[in-house]
Amino acid sequence: MHVFQPLPLDLIEINPFQKLSKEWAIVTAGTKVEANPMTVSWGGFGTFWGKSVLTIYVRESRFTKELIDKSDFFSVSFLPDDKRNALSVCGSLSGKDNNKWEQSGLTLNSRLGIPFPDEASLVYLCKKMAAVPITAETFMDKEIDKKFYAEGDYHTMYIGEIIDAMAR
């Protein structure tokens, strides 16, 4: 297992518009026994309710959603460039039917009982603060529903307080 160092949030310098959308991340939820890594490219960093937060968006059909809903915590991890294939695997297979850890070549690690991939270069550990369903009725621009939800598989927005950040 790699050694991760604590990383104070005020020392992290990233482009929040590029980090998730271009580099992608792995959201992991569950336990040491049942944890699932899922690739995400939608989300955000910010401040909410006086806390440093990460927001992630997970479709209703995803196995990871079940695990996030059962847990109070999740992680958001960024992998080095040489692990891009692992991101593709974790974004294209269902953890319900596949062992994505094995198939992606990633190794399960955890801190504070929160699972994350050991190969990550940057990890945010988050405490779930809110789960907000996104439905057709919430759209001001009805074209969004047609473009992204033709099949009706809506997202839930999870707001997580960043309780720890670490890097290797």
* Residue-level pLDDT at 2: 87
The answer as to whether 153 is a domain residue is yes
Instruction: Report CA torsion sign: 97, 100, 103, 108.
Output: negative
Does 6 fall in a domain?
no
What is the token pair recorded at 75? 């992680």
Specify the CATH number for the domain of residue 139: 2.30.110.10
Residue 29 placed within a domain: yes
List pLDDT tens digits, range 1-39. 889 999 999 999 999 889 999 999 999 999 888 999 999
Domain count, the chain: 1
CA 125/CA 160 separation, integer angstroms = 9
Residue 158 reports pLDDT greater than 90: yes
For residue 3, being part of any structural domain is answered with no
Would the pTM count as exceeding 0.85? yes
Residue 35 lies in a domain: yes
Domain membership of residue 26 as a residue range = 14-163
Asked whether residue 168 is domain-assigned, the answer is: no
Cα gap 122→166, rounded to integer Å: 6
